[in-house]
Amino acid sequence: MLRFLWLSVSVILFDQVTKLWILATFKEYEVVVIWPVFNLTLVYNKGAAFSFLANAGGWQLYFFIILALVLSVVMTVWLARLQRHEKFTAWGLGLIIGGAVGNLIDRLLYGKVVDFLQWHWGDYYWPSFNVADSAITIGVCLMLVDTFRPPRTDHQSG
């Protein structure tokens, strides 16, 4: 099932190209309204999702680098051991690995993650995110769906 690593590579490339474009085009906190509920804006995140540990004093950079490396290796081994019929899990792992590596590259290059997608409703703003974060979220959802699907029997084709 390692063939699903093409998905990881695609996520990494799309994530990095969009971040390079944002970095070349936007100043930090500059906002471009795309729709009344959606903006593009360059922000940086030194933490994890929802800026978790963003103000932890610097140690979190090394923690998240090590965590991303370890989890990427574990998920790649998991992907390699999947059976042919476990396609939802393979798609999910491919997306999660790509997202984890995309944000890992940011941490290694910039010491923080580049975020630029921003949804809002009125004065409520969802935390900004990026393509890698989206891939991780979709990947986790696919794996959750697979968890609730009935188990396949040997005579069912994948």
Q: Which of 15, 123, 133, 146 is catalytic?
A: 133
- For residue 134, what are the contacts with CB-CB under 8 A and spacing of at least 6? 99, 117
Phi (first) and psi of residue 25, to 5 degrees: -105, -35
Please say if 115 is a catalytic residue.
Answer: yes
Residues 32, 21: Cα–Cα separation, whole Å: 14
Q: Which of 106, 115, 146, 154 is catalytic?
A: 115
Element (H, E) at 120: strand 113-121
Please say if 146 is a catalytic residue.
Answer: no
Are 89 and 144 contacting, i.e. CB atoms less than 8 angstroms apart? no
Residues identified as active-site: 115, 133
